[in-house]
């Protein structure tokens, strides 16, 4: 997929998401409601075996994390899907992002399949409900997408962000000092352990419950996550975000994230905070996953809509990305 083709369908994708989930001016198209927190990340010695990325060499790196609820309605209750977008502030003034979900997979393997999914879910009349019949037909014709939808529907909801594992649905290449690549999927493992609850129980609580719980927790103690690499073996798909790798794949902890307090866009100095997952730095490279590559354009269109027009966002210095 060429650089330019990232943008071909971006506007159409954002438009269809709005028709399905509703339009909420000033908010992201997806993961509309979120809160920001600040802290630091420190890599361990194992990280250097896999990557030369500057933020993974052992120095303490400032970070911000945006936790968010899934969906496009910022006023909705929490569901079983929540997000964790981490921004690392590099010594040279640039940034790089690591975007994860509480879910393990995305719901389409190609841009065309994703667009067909959105088309199937479009309301039969403007402002109407999601076309569930259309989605049922789509999932029947696209079993890979249907299997992910079923897995998500059956997953537990969080009891706290601090007890939630987060997963990068895309694979990346980590490149070490000897230029040796290792294909990985990244995970944030909560130091306090993983806990879940029924989505119905969570949905019956206040719409900001997970944010207030985390803010209250941070008032008493930091919250920690370990960054874990899942290492691919030959034959594992690197360009299909709808497929899990076998459970016996080796996992290596390469560092710890420590969150200490809430923050805001104003305090950070970036009112847009576009967490493009393809905004990378030397030592980490994208795979040819078409969903990963289309996300830059979609994120930029969404950012333009919520910020009142196209503009240059802060913190977009010399980073390498596809």
Per the annotation, binding residues for heme are: 299
Nearest CA-CA partner of 32 in 80, 63, 6, 66: 66
> Rounded CA gap, 89 and 132, in Å?
42
Contact status, residue 156 vs residue 78, Cβ threshold 8 Å: no
The catalytic position among 31, 187, 275, 305 is: 31
The DSSP code for 244 is: P
Q: What is the CA radius of gyration of the chain?
A: 19
Q: Name the 3-class secondary structure at 85.
A: strand
Please state, in angstroms and rounded to a whole number, the distance separating the CA atoms of residues 155 and 16.
26
**Number of other CB atoms surrounding residue 119 within 10 Å:** 14
Grouping H, G, I as helix, E, B as strand and the rest as coil, residue 180 is coil
Question: Is 31 a catalytic site residue?
Answer: yes
Catalytic residues: 31
């Amino acid at each position: 997929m060429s650089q330019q083709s990232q943008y071909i369908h971006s506007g159409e994708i954002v438009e269809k998401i709005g028709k399905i989930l509703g339009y909420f001016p000033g908010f992201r198209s997806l993961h509309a409601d979120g809160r920001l927190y600040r802290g630091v990340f420190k890599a361990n010695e194992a990280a250097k075996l896999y990557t030369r990325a500057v933020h993974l060499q052992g120095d303490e790196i400032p970070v911000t994390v945006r936790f968010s609820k899934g969906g496009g309605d910022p006023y909705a209750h929490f569901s079983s899907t929540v997000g964790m977008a981490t921004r690392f502030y590099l010594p040279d003034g640039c940034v790089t992002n690591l975007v994860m979900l509480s879910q393990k997979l995305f719901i389409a393997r190609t841009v065309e399949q994703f667009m067909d999914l959105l088309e199937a879910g479009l309301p039969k009349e403007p402002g109407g409900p999601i076309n569930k019949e259309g989605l049922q037909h789509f999932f029947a014709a696209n079993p890979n997408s249907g299997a992910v939808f079923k897995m998500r529907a059956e997953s537990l909801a969080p009891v706290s962000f601090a007890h939630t594992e987060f997963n990068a649905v895309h694979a990346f290449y980590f490149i070490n000092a000897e230029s040796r690549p290792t294909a990985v999927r990244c995970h944030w493992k909560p130091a306090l352990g993983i806990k879940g609850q029924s989505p119905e129980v969570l949905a019956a609580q206040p719409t900001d419950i997970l944010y207030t719980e985390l803010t209250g927790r941070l008032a008493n103690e930091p919250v920690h996550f370990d960054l874990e690499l899942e290492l691919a073996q030959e034959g594992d798909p690197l360009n299909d975000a709808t497929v899990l790798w076998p459970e016996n794949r080796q996992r290596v902890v390469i560092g710890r994230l420590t969150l200490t307090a809430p923050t805001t866009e104003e305090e950070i100095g970036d009112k847009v905070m576009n967490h493009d997952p393809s905004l990378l730095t030397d030592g980490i490279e994208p795979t040819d996953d078409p969903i990963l590559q289309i996300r830059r354009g979609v994120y930029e269109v969404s950012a333009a809509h919520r910020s009142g027009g196209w503009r240059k966002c802060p913190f977009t210095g010399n980073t390498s990305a596809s």
